[in-house]
Homo-oligomer: A and B are copies of this chain.
Amino acid sequence: MLNMNYQHRDIMPELRARRMERSPGVGQAVNLLSPEQQIRLQSIATLADVPRGGLIFGEGNPADLLFVMARGMARISRVSLSGRRQVMAFKMAGDLLGYPEQGIYVNTGRAVSAATVYRIPWRKLSVLLRRDPEMHTSFLTRMAFDVRQAQKRIMALGQQNVAQRLSSFLLDLMEYSDFYEPQRCQLSLQLTRFDLADYLGTTPETVVRILARLEHDGLIRRLTARLLEIRDADGLARLLEERRRTG
């Protein structure tokens, strides 16, 4: 154990109670609404197709609409004062996006691949929620889910080195049948190295280097830049138990 000489950090007792888990990070598909609720929601929503790279909503713009992913993948990002982009999350079918802050979008949402989204006007939604406690609770639950997702990213960014963060992300993506084909162990990355880097809080160069290292260590194989073969998922998972820095 590290730093045994300091108390008050209560690491040991907390560790005992801990369940094994990885950090999903990506908005995992959760059944937000019952089919019946979905219909009611669709009655106030409009469908919109967004081309690859297309804008769904933009940081700084008035937030009249809330979005629900229907198909495809979207990237939620924000630009820091220093001018660098941070990708907050990738959103899949069923995920909510476009939360406002004081009536303004604080993030930018773009389609990574061609996508379809439901556009829901806030006005109509708030009326609906007021009349439908069950739907209201569903939204509360979804919001709580997003809090947890964000907290897992805080864990990753605060504790793990880049190799661990990347491994976590790959393992997360493997949960999605859209991206992972178990027979051939092939994981399809729809993202550029930049998207990856900005999501992981690093640089494209470092992402490439880490991928090269994982390949050298026999954990993955790069079939093409956007297509990986996962050769040792357990090995990737084992990385996560190591310390941030091996010194």
Chain A residues with a Cβ under 8 A of chain B: 1-2, 6, 8-11, 13-20, 22, 53, 58-61, 77-86, 88, 99, 101, 104, 106-108, 110, 126, 129-131, 133, 136-137, 139-140, 143-144, 146-148, 150-151, 153-155, 157-160, 192, 194, 198, 200-201, 240-244
Cβ contact within 8 Å between A82 and B241: yes
Choice from B18, B126, B147 contacting A99 with Cβ under 8 Å = B147
Cβ contact within 8 Å between B198 and A60: no
Cβ contact within 8 Å between A159 and B1: no
Q: How far is the CA of A148 from the CA of B101 in the complex (A)?
A: 8
- Minimal Cβ-Cβ distance residue in B for A141: B143
Q: How far is the CA of A160 from the CA of B201 in the complex (A)?
A: 9
- Minimal Cβ-Cβ distance residue in B for A193: B6
Shortest distance from the beta carbon of A156 to any chain B beta carbon, whole Å: 9
The SS class assigned to the A binding surface is mixed
Cβ contact within 8 Å between B99 and A155: no
Cβ contact within 8 Å between A147 and B146: yes
Choice from B11, B83, B86 contacting A155 with Cβ under 8 Å = B86
- Known: A80-B155, A159-B86. Contact between A59 and B14, CB under 8 A? yes
Residues in B neighbouring A77, C-beta threshold 8 A:
14
Choice from B82, B107, B131 contacting A159 with Cβ under 8 Å = B82
- Minimal Cβ-Cβ distance residue in B for A126: B137
A-B contact pairs, 10 of them (CB 8 A): A2-B83, A8-B192, A17-B58, A82-B159, A84-B243, A88-B155, A136-B137, A143-B147, A150-B154, A153-B154
